[in-house]
Structure 1
Amino acid sequence: MTSKILSIVIAACVGAVIICTAGLGLLGGHAATCTYAGPSAAPQAWTAAGGYTADQVSAAAIIVRAGIDAGVPVRGQVIAVAVAIQESSLQNRSDGPDDSVGLFQQRPSQGWGTRDQLLDPVYASRRFYTALLAVAGWPQMPLTDAGQAVQRSAYPDAYARWEHDATKLVTTVGSSTNGVMSVNIAGCLTPCPDALNSSNAGGTPAAPSEASGACDWVAPVRAPIVSGFRTAGRPSHDGVDLAAARGTPIRVASTGTVLVVRCNVTPASHGCDQDGSPSTPGCGWYVDVLHADQIVTRYCHMLTRPSVVEGQQVLVGQVIGFVGSSGHSSGPHLHFEVHVNGDRSPVGAVDPVMFMAGRAPIGHQ
């Protein structure tokens, strides 16, 4: 099984090229060329990660690559990997119950394809995504509901337990330093949104291009502002709320060091792996990142545990989590804050719109 999966990963490392040129003024007066060069030329020899074997990580890479090729957003890739963890432990099994086979334990007798087809991890992944995309409203569904709508499992609640693991695996295998992708435009989210949000980019975390040094800052999401900084109605609102859809990848606004990864909710027993409410105090799952010049950015109300850890170095444009509604929240959105002088208290908070205006403007769809 190892050689088969690795050969598919190698074969999958063929991609398109997207080139877009940013106009003057979008990056503080600088022009930048953002290039998506496709998957890296060198095949990835996957290693164990996060408690998963090299074979399992390789299988996750195949699933993610198939999702990218099909234009499936990152949220869909996370759902697919979580389902495969539950169904097969990311193993290309040929001996499942009844006539179930493959990574997703799909059944030839249920119309998924022939046995040989379903033992091809690429084919099985594509069939899963085809079924997922046919589910109305799947991006807004809890992971377990979306997975169940496709699989119709006897254990429909089991998928949810793997959401964190799946998020970490998608982040790991989608990195430009690994094998599935080599995206060079993550530093240019503002001038090149169409390229970054295309099926080829897939929302995967990546390093900025060497040619786009002017891209020191990016918009964490592209979405309209629905609640501003310290308005008359919310004088203690120390950031802005960006109305991005549930599951939208959140990109770190600039290169820096992760200071805090925390579930902040009252009472603590409520947890952050479910939606909060306007009467649930706290930031939910959130991340603080320290940047150059003692600038700190904060990202609140994430869907699941963030995909970074405290002390980790992150690159501008890297995906650090996904939009959710945990903590004090009435619906999915990103609460984004900017603090100066290294002061993470309200005293250090500044208006993110004003701060980002000359760097990477926020509040645009």
Structure 2
Amino acid sequence: MTTELPGVGQPPRRRLRTGTLVTALTATFALLCCGGGSAAFFLTNLGGERDNLVSNEMTCEQDHKVDVTGDMPRMSDYGDSQLRNAAIIIKVGQEMKVPPRGWVIAVGTAMQESALRNLANSTVRGSRDIPNEGVGRDHDSVGLFQQRAGWGSVTERMTPSYAARKFYEKLLQVDGWEQLSLTRAAQKVQISAYPDAYAKHEDTAAKIVNALAKGAARTVQIADKAVCDRASAKTIAASGWTAPVPGGVGSGFRTRSRPRHNGVDIAARKGTPIHAAASGRVLVARCDPDHNGRRDCDVDGYPNKGGCGWFVDILHAGGYLTRYCHMVQKPLVVPGQEVKAGEMIGRVGSSGNSSGPHLHFEVHRDRDRSSAGAIDPVPWMRQRGAPLDGSA
């Protein structure tokens, strides 16, 4: 019996409840991907529902100035005072001319350190002279970023704008910080005892920045300007995401003609570099067996082959997973490897069940590699400033 890759073109299984984790490396579901004449290259109407995690986000505008005194947006997990603190963090970043990627990192860091509350320690809590919003866990750490004595006086560290400025000053000293995942960038500044704790906040931090700064997490820096929805290949959006290859979307997600197609096909020349869509950890990098159990991915596929060919699965912050199929040769990464957003992981080919060179690209949520976890990558990537069709 052939063990085959889950989730590419099989009938949708029962939708798992949000938060349910599927054992990614042991699932065995049927596979059928991307075959069928020239279907991969004709533009189609994209099927599938919009991902409800992104459909309500702010559109991307040219003016990203944040208002720290006006009404705050409503968010289920964060109240008015917490979002106002996030607005102050963003405003300081704007004053210091830090690119929006830095705002996402700073907000995400404060989410982990203080839940965006200006926390005191037990000594400060008893003082009427220093306003605070609760008591933190560390005896000498205070403020939004839980900074210790070396960062300034207690009064300074309990001033949100001061704390944010000190964070940005340290962040800007980190080499290549804009290409790092939030958790790695934050750890370079904070030197936390729990270095991986920041990762879970990256997606929500981007949403907060979008809501407070008019879609700023969807921008990339081009000629020192924040430009909306243009992240591609090595150009990383403030959200931390980028389109894996330049090109146009052909066969779409679960269309009427292909209801089992759990991703989209992006036309590209054979040998075109494929880049990681975001920072993460490689789960799988191998040749997927064809329908007869053979592993001969160095030969172009359709109509005699099946499967995904040479492919890679990458796990990202927030439990999201991306899949890259039909590579021309063995991937350039290996399981367990940490990759940065925009890092080259392979080249476009036509291995597996493929009618011609293209990248089959999928996005899954809840760490679910099966078809139950697949979502339409077109609206999802656009909401992160990395449209798959390359349009602005």
Range into which the TM-score falls when normalised by the shorter chain:
0.3 to 0.5
Larger radius of gyration: 2
Which structure is higher in strand share?
1
Which structure is higher in helix share?
1
TM-score by length of 2: 0.41
TM-score by length of 1: 0.44
Larger RCO (alpha carbons 8 Å, 6+ apart): 2
